[in-house]
Amino acid sequence: MQTIGLIGGMSFESSAVYYRLLNEMVRERLGDLASAELLLYSVNFEEIVVMQKAGDWAGAAARLGDVASRLETAGAACILICSNTMHLVADEVASRVSVPFLHIIDETAASLKAAGCKRPLLLATRYTMEHGFYTDRMQRLGLDIAVPEAADRTTVHDIIFNELCAGKVLESSREKLMRIIERERAAGADSIILGCTEICLILDPDNLPLPGFDTTKIHATAAIDFALRQTAVA
In this structure, the strands spanning 38-42 and 4-8 are: parallel
Q: What is the pLDDT of residue 230?
A: 55
Q: Are 165 and 13 in contact (CB under 8 A)?
A: yes
Q: Same structural domain for residues 149 and 159?
A: yes
- The reported pLDDT for the residue numbered 25 is 97
Q: Which domain holds residue 35?
A: 4-103+217-233
Average pLDDT over residues 31-57: 97
CATH code of residue 196: 3.40.50.1860
Arithmetic mean of pLDDT, 112-126: 97
Q: How far apart are CA 99 and CA 69, in angstroms?
A: 10
Which conformational region is residue 132 in: left (phi greater than 0), alpha (psi within -120 to 50 degrees), or beta?
A: left
Q: What is the arithmetic mean of pLDDT over 200-216?
A: 97
- Asked if 123 and 157 count as a contact pair (C-beta separation under 8 A), the reply is no
| pLDDT of res. 23 | 98
Partner residues linked to 121 by β-bridges:
146, 192
Question: Alpha-carbon torsion 128, 108, 68, 91, what sign?
Answer: negative
Instruction: Please provide residue 40's backbone torsions phi and psi, each rounded to the nearest 5 degrees.
Output: -115, 120
Q: In sequence order, what are the beta bridge partners of 78?
A: 4
Q: Residue 13 pLDDT > 90, yes or no?
A: yes
Percent of the chain with pLDDT over 90: 97
Question: Quick check: 201 pLDDT over 90?
Answer: yes
Considering the entire predicted model, what is its pTM? 0.95
Residue 232, pLDDT above cutoff 60: no
CA–CA separation, 84 and 81 (whole Å)? 8
Same structural domain, 224 and 207: no
Residue 67: pLDDT band (50, 70, 90) is: very high
Measure the N-to-C terminal CA separation of the chain; round to a whole number of Å.
9
Q: Is 68 exposed, middle or buried (0-12, 13-18, 19+ CB in 10 A)?
A: buried
| Tens of pLDDT, residues 221-230 | 999 999 998 5
The answer to whether residues 76 and 117 belong to one domain is: no
In whole angstroms, give the CA distance from residue 99 to residue 165: 29
Which residues pair with residue 192 across a beta bridge?
Answer: 121, 212
Residues 73 and 160 in one domain: no
3-class DSSP state of 112 = helix
**Band of residue 233 on the pLDDT scale cut at 50, 70, 90:** very low
The pair phi, psi for residue 183, each rounded to 5°, is -65, -40
Residue 68 pLDDT level (bands cut at 50, 70, 90): very high
- Counting the structural domains of the chain, the total is 2
Residue 99 predicted with pLDDT over 60:
yes
Question: Do residue 36 and residue 109 come from a single domain?
Answer: no
> What's the confidence (pLDDT) of residue 234?
46
Handedness of CA 65, 70, 75, 81 (dihedral sign): negative
What pLDDT is attached to residue 193? 98
The reply to whether 147 and 122 lie within a common domain is yes
Distances (CA, A) of 226 to 10, 179, 229: 23, 37, 5
How confident is the model at residue 231, as a pLDDT?
52
- 168 has pLDDT over 90: yes
| Domain co-membership, 119 together with 50 | no
Whether 109 and 128 share a structural domain: yes
Q: Tell whether the model's pLDDT for residue 185 goes beyond 70.
A: yes
Q: Is the domain of 88 the same as that of 171?
A: no
| 200 and 225 housed in the same domain | no
Residues 49 and 114 in one domain: no
Are 156 and 133 contained in the same domain? yes
